[in-house]
Homo-oligomer: A and B are copies of this chain.
Amino acid sequence: MELSQLRTLIHVAELGSLSKAADRIGIAQPALSRQIRMLEEELSVRLFTRHGRGMVLTEKGREILEHATRVMTELEEIRATAADLDAPLRGRIAIGFPPTVADILSLPLVAAFGKTHPQVELRLVGAYTGHLIDWLHRGEIDVAILYDPHVARSLRTEPLLLENLFLIGPPGSGLSADRSIPFSDLDLKRILLPSTRHGLRTIVEQCAVEAGITLHIAVEADSYATLKDLVRHGHGWTILPLSPIHDDIAAGRLLAAPLTDPAPVRQLVLSYPADRPVSRLTRFAGETIADIVADQVERKIWPGQLLRKA
């Protein structure tokens, strides 16, 4: 048994494919095929069942995968132990956020690091979930907040928050935070949303189906700033989390109301790569983010439901 085999097991298990794992790891597919075969021979078990299109863990494979993941965690602890434990954290860390989350978390996060670990060089990276996942795997970022992807086995995730989405309207639209709008009321309204590849769009469309209506999507725009501007100038209504428009609401430029029947929500998770050790710096960043999120929710700056750590 070798560490490279265990790492391969983890990647293949997540992706369901030697070829995809080869792409990700940057090693030729036959080499991974042989690694898995040699591991299976050494253990005398089948870890995967093979199909025409990919391979799936057996039950035994799943059990062994858990231990393999723990081995990776212990290796991470070895590296953490090797690092200087008493000095203030130093070095650089890249933290990924969806754009809306960056707006609300950047300042408190920078403040927290500035207070306790001023020598750390922060790199705050805003991008969509798909890109963030890629960059986590490639080691270009160390930790990310993600809107909930289908859980990737090679990412270690901690649930953070269920975030409510709100109906956003212009001044004079009569929207109020303490009066919910039934989703079905959107039936004949001009709705402005991000494009179909955007997770928020998927959630909203699912809600429309549940409400039994068809949304009239007058404009698609992936930029929240654009959506906000269009709404401000009376070109329609949009559906967004409150975090990017908190200031606009406070200033009276936009109004918001909760939606119900159904209420659109999405889950945010903290994600780390599972096949690579998480440094003390990365761990500190994750803990700090979780603390800030809890604080924002408790102070009602960020409307949603905190999720407890497993």
Contacts and interface: CB of A to CB of B under 8 A. Distances in A.
Given A1-B75, A3-B1, A45 B82 contact: yes
Interface in A43-75: 43-45, 59-60, 63-64, 67-68, 70-71, 74-75
Contact of A159 (B1, B260, B307): B307
> Which size class do A's interface residues fall under?
35 or more
Question: Is the contact region of chain A dominated by helix, strand, or loop, or is it mixed?
Answer: mixed
A2 interface: yes
Interface in A93-151: 148, 151
The quantity of this chain's copies bound in the complex is 2
A2 B71 CA distance: 12
21 contacts: A2-B3, A3-B3, A43-B79, A44-B83, A60-B81, A63-B81, A63-B280, A64-B81, A64-B82, A67-B74, A67-B81, A68-B78, A71-B74, A157-B310, A159-B307, A159-B310, A162-B162, A162-B305, A180-B182, A180-B261, A310-B310
A286 interface: no
A265 interface: yes
A303 to B, nearest CB: 10
